[in-house]
Amino acid sequence: MFFLGVATAIIGAASGNIGLSPFQTALLISMQNAGFILAVLVAGSLADTRDKARLLGAGSLVLAVSFFLFYLWRPYSLNLAIMFFIGVGIGIYEGVADAMLFGIYKERQGFFISVNHFFVTLGCFAITLYLVFLRLADWRRSLVQSAAVVLLLAVLFLLSRTPAGGREAAKLRERLAFLRTQSVLAIFLVVAVFGIGMELGLLGLLTSFLMELRGYDQVSSKLGLILFLSGIAAGRVLLGLISRRRRLLTLIIALFAAAAVLSAILFLFVLPAALNSILLFFLGLTVSSLLPLLITLTGFLYKDMSGTALGIVKLGIPVGGILIPFVLSLVTRYFSFKTSLLVFPFIALVSGAMLAASRKIIDARVKLVIAGVVGGAGTAS
């Protein structure tokens, strides 16, 4: 997952080093998301019936080769294709890794999945900081080194074995037919879009907000972003520690409510710098585990087909990463930047309300799963 973070952040971190225009960078990100969407669905469904270590080995091999080839040659169209395969690699990681954790750990799955996603954040941090200290001509060194380590991971995964889903697992068509009847899963997908869109949107706009609307300079605004990222890192460990099966839904709703309140206070009121710093840290903490805990709840509710179910919910990652920033840009263009920031408390409030409205259905299924009445193909919709 560390290298998933590296792969996710590499184009944004290295675009200046490569000399790409904003249009070229955006197109590369779009190709990465296209590869991700395809791979996370396919890998997630295969994770229910195939050896997960083998699947992760295949993903590592794709990612290692793609890292090594990215901008080895200059033609942009060639690197556009390579970026698609980087998206495929991280899609396989996302589609399989969390599903594998559900098979390995029978207790405290929320903690292990939150820590898993903590390493995604760590990977984003590491590649960005590393590129700061490399000379422009040497930026590819980070990718070659990453390719070597990921290739080693591929070998280790291919030599390892994990229990497959079993021959008794439902066929893909049957799994998809059942999951299409699950209205809760559709709600989870929408909430995942809002949750990841909120996290990525805040990461992209916080420095601009602090400089344009709160009078921060370049250095202090970046310190504010670091506080927000520190809250994300801390939250993915601390909130994972306190998460429990029966309280997952309550915790997710509470986090969305807190995110709505904290973001509204941050964006609507001019506060002293010290209070802003506290708000930034705790806002990062509240948004940190929205997606990991939602993934945990999904995998628990549909544990006999967790790979397929998680693959569907994780479609919210690329969709949220595209849709919410696009909405923010539209509101900024036709209204104002200050108005666009109110999108964050709004989508947090809507997400919490959607989950609260579905609480009876979700709680009923949680009780059935805990009682062993259903696994992945129960009757609750």
Q: What is the mean pLDDT of residues 342-362?
A: 93
Whether 101 and 113 have beta carbons less than 8 Å apart is answered as yes
What does the pLDDT look like over 256-296, one tens digit per residue? 999 999 999 999 999 998 999 999 999 999 998 888 889 88
User: What is the share, in percent, of the chain residues with pLDDT greater than 90?
Assistant: 21
What is the mean pLDDT of the segment spanning 15-42? 78
Q: What is the mean pLDDT of residues 243-249?
A: 77
The angle formed by the CA atoms of residues 345, 347 and 353, to the nearest 5 degrees, is: 100
Is the pLDDT at 381 greater than 70, yes or no?
no
What is the value of pTM for the model shown?
0.78
Q: 316 near 189, Cβ under 8 Å? A: yes
Query: Which residue has better confidence, 185 or 321?
Result: 185
Please provide the CATH number assigned to the domain covering 2-162: 1.20.1250.20
Q: Is 21 exposed, middle or buried (0-12, 13-18, 19+ CB in 10 A)?
A: exposed
Each domain of the chain, given as residue ranges in start order, spans 2-162, 177-371
The better pLDDT of the pair 46, 165 is held by 46
* pLDDT, tens digit (0-9, with 9 covering 90-100), for 291-334: 888 988 888 888 778 788 888 888 888 888 788 888 888 888 89
Place of tokens 């036709």: 334
Per DSSP (E only), the strands in 193-327 are none
CATH architecture for residues 177-371: Up-down Bundle (1.20)
Reply yes or no on whether the pLDDT at 129 is more than 80.
Answer: no
Task: Return d(Cα 210, Cα 67) in angstroms, integer.
Answer: 34
pLDDT digits (tens, 9 = 90+) for 34-61: 898 889 888 888 887 888 888 989 999 9
- Candidates 247, 243, 230, 346; CA nearest to 285 is 230
Rounded distance, CA 101 to CA 296, Å? Answer: 10
How much is the pLDDT for 128? Answer: 62
Please, are residues 187 and 41 in contact by the beta-carbon 8 Å criterion? no
Contacts (Cβ under 8 Å, ≥6 apart) of 230: 281, 284
Do 177-371 and 2-162 have the same topology in CATH?
Answer: yes
End-to-end CA distance of the chain: 32
C-alpha separations of 190 from 254, 303, 324, 351 in Å: 17, 20, 12, 8
Return the residue matching tokens 């997606």. 291
Task: Give which of 49, 3, 50, 31 is closest to 154, Cα–Cα.
Answer: 3
Structure tokens at 368: 């059935």
